[in-house]
């Protein structure tokens, strides 16, 4: 039995794209939040410097602390992204599993 590549690809995209798009929205949401935190920290540092409450060295340390915290959050998205890709691929293969396994005559897709 010949497999229709266009049909298989269409079925796989149908289940995979929504999963990948959801992850992209999550990344945008997290990035927006983290960059807002960095901006708030910078504004706070500026006010504290102007008031003489902190030194330039402390200002740099406070900014570094926020940058590191935001970096940790955004790096975790890489892991989430990898999980989303894996889920998308698994879902894509799952939707064509029976068709493919029947066509090839064995469990190519487990």
From first to last of the 110 residues of the chain, give the pLDDT tens digit: 678 888 888 898 898 888 888 777 777 788 888 888 989 998 899 899 999 999 999 999 999 999 999 888 877 877 777 788 888 889 999 999 999 999 888 899 99
What is the spatial distance between Cα 107 and Cα 53, in angstroms, rounded to a whole number?
A: 68
pLDDT for 1 equals 61
Return the closest-CA partner of residue 69 out of 25, 26, 35: 35
Residue whose C-alpha is closest to residue 58's, from 39, 42, 45, 47? 45
Euclidean distance between CA atoms 101 and 107, whole angstroms: 5
Give a yes or no: residue 65 inside a domain.
yes
110 within domain boundaries: no
| Domain coverage including residue 59 | 5-104
Domains identified in the chain, total number: 1
Burial 1-28 (b: 16+ CB within 10 A, else e): eeeeeeebeeebeebbeebeeebeeebe
d(C-alpha 105, C-alpha 110), whole Å: 13
What's the pLDDT score for residue 24?
75
Asked whether the beta carbons of 64 and 72 are under 8 A apart, the reply is: no
Q: Give yes or no for a contact between 89 and 105, defined as CB atoms under 8 angstroms apart.
A: no
Tell me what pLDDT residue 101 has.
Answer: 92
Q: What pLDDT was estimated at residue 30? A: 83
In a domain, 109, yes or no: no
In a domain, 51, yes or no: yes
């Amino acid at each position: 039995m010949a497999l229709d590549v266009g049909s298989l690809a269409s079925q796989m995209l149908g289940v995979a794209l929504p999963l990948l798009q959801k992850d992209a929205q999550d990344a945008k949401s997290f990035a927006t939040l983290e960059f807002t935190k960095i901006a708030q920290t910078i504004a706070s540092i500026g006010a504290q410097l102007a008031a003489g409450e902190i030194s330039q060295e402390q200002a740099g340390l406070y900014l570094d602390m926020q940058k590191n915290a935001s970096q940790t959050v955004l790096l975790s998205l890489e892991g989430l992204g990898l999980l989303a890709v894996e889920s998308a691929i698994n879902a894509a293969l799952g939707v064509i599993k029976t068709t493919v396994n029947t066509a090839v005559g064995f469990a190519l897709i487990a």
